[in-house]
Structure 1
């Protein structure tokens, strides 16, 4: 209870600017129309453990593209052991400032769900990212239904990142498969932009099956088709994913790590 109370106090401090303005969401791209809607729960599966970094990078890019900040990232100690601690320089390379993220590291899956239940109700947040490693049986239909209800009430977008796990029944509005893909080299052989192979595995009220290979442009804060990818499966020149919602009008507190 002490851990949960401390987190609530911290989140209230982050959200001190009050309840964010809510607007009617008009999806600007086919990607949004096919399932990614704010203020709901969405699942991101990196089924291969080697794609853990890609799954995390894609989740951060979604939050940035949507302008859904600040971001609270809840991960277990198992994630810290398996994937390593977060690197501030790497986050900055994606376009995420350290003062726009609160990292919460908890002992286990049960503690992660308790912390997530509190964070999902904090109306000043933009995105809640819950990272779990392996099977994580506690993230079941009941737990995801609670998170979905909290997201719909508070306006917080909840992303559940599952690494090294097989999809299981849940209340999520959509389910995405994420894998790494080779990026296109820049001039003089410089490393290319972060690239992702994304597949829509499930979405509420519509068929799945769409797949994209995209790059993340941190300056424009949008996804663009990967050079050489099949453009027939990549609707639009860019995928801005902007929900038209100002999440938090206050300056976020300067917090790098908590828990």
Structure 2
């Protein structure tokens, strides 16, 4: 029995060492965000079979961080269902997750499954079990507060589960401080001003101030990203938040300018 334990322990240690060294047995699959600068820094996009963290630096930035996590998870899900795990007291702290709001972002609420856990321990168990379900495309673990249970050991378990299944795991953190763990990337998200050109313009597309502060296999950076609700991708902010209307073809040409002389 002791020999079996020793063998199992050696296997786990080897898996952790390969994980920390960035070695994988399978080809790394990446998903482009659509933003050229971010995708170039990420060497083609975010890794699908990995753990990623998204932080709201203040509670008032929760909506922006949630929107970024939702868009990122949606792209990683690759047309498969998305599971969103929240603590049951989360709505009281940051507000309920609005299916109508997600629909306005271009996401299909029918492909989003919500789970409310009584505590962080249950949320971690649900997330780990969900990462073993091949029918899912991505799992979002929505954690409020410090949550000491989400430590380096818990992050290793989720990372190994994501690598084994190929399913992306995103951890959305609010009112928390980043700690050392096995996350492939860590993002800090704030809201950015939409670009409107005149008082009568409608508000522009959602824009986010996104900082990539951890990238295990590359550089970091910071960008303003515009979320395109119709295409469900991020891109560089456009010069105009709304498309400019073309000149009507039936409009008569402007008359030539005529210089007027004073009679004298």
TM-score range, shorter chain: 0.7 to 0.9
Q: How does 1:1-259 map to 2 (within 5 A)?
A: 25=29, 29-35=36-42, 36-68=46-78, 69-185=80-196, 188-208=200-220, 210-227=221-238
Residue aligned with 1:189, SS: coil
Q: Kindly name which structure, 1 or 2, has the bigger radius of gyration based on alpha carbons.
A: 2
**What is the TM-score with the length of structure 2 in the denominator?**
0.72
**C-alpha distance in 2 between matches for 1:156 and 1:26:** 12
CA drift of 1:194 comes to: 1.2
**C-alpha distance in 2 between matches for 1:67 and 1:106:** 22
CA drift of 1:33 comes to: 4.9
Residue aligned with 1:115, SS: helix
| Alignment deviations for residues 207-232 of structure 1 (CA, whole Å, 9 cap, x no partner) | 33x0010110011222121247xxxx
**C-alpha distance in 1 between matches for 2:31 and 2:85:** 28
**What is the TM-score with the length of structure 1 in the denominator?**
0.74
CA drift of 1:164 comes to: 1.3
**C-alpha distance in 2 between matches for 1:88 and 1:154:** 27
The answer for unaligned runs of 5 or more in structure 1 is 1-21, 229-259
How many residue pairs align between the two structures?
206
| Alignment deviations for residues 183-202 of structure 1 (CA, whole Å, 9 cap, x no partner) | 12377321221111111111
The answer for unaligned runs of 5 or more in structure 2 is 1-25, 240-264
CA drift of 1:166 comes to: 1.1
Bigger shift: residues 141-150 or 34-43:
34-43
Contact residue 186 and residue 192 of structure 1 kept, 8 A: no
CA drift of 1:78 comes to: 2.6
Give every structure 1 segment of 4 or more consecutive aligned residues whose post-TM-superposition deviation is greater than 4 Å: 26-30
Between the two structures, name the one with larger relative contact order (CA 8 Å, sep ≥ 6).
1
CA drift of 1:205 comes to: 2.4
Residue aligned with 1:199, SS: strand
C-alpha change, 1:137 and 1:88, in structure 2 (3 Å) is same
Contact residue 64 and residue 95 of structure 1 kept, 8 A: no
Contact residue 77 and residue 136 of structure 2 kept, 8 A: no
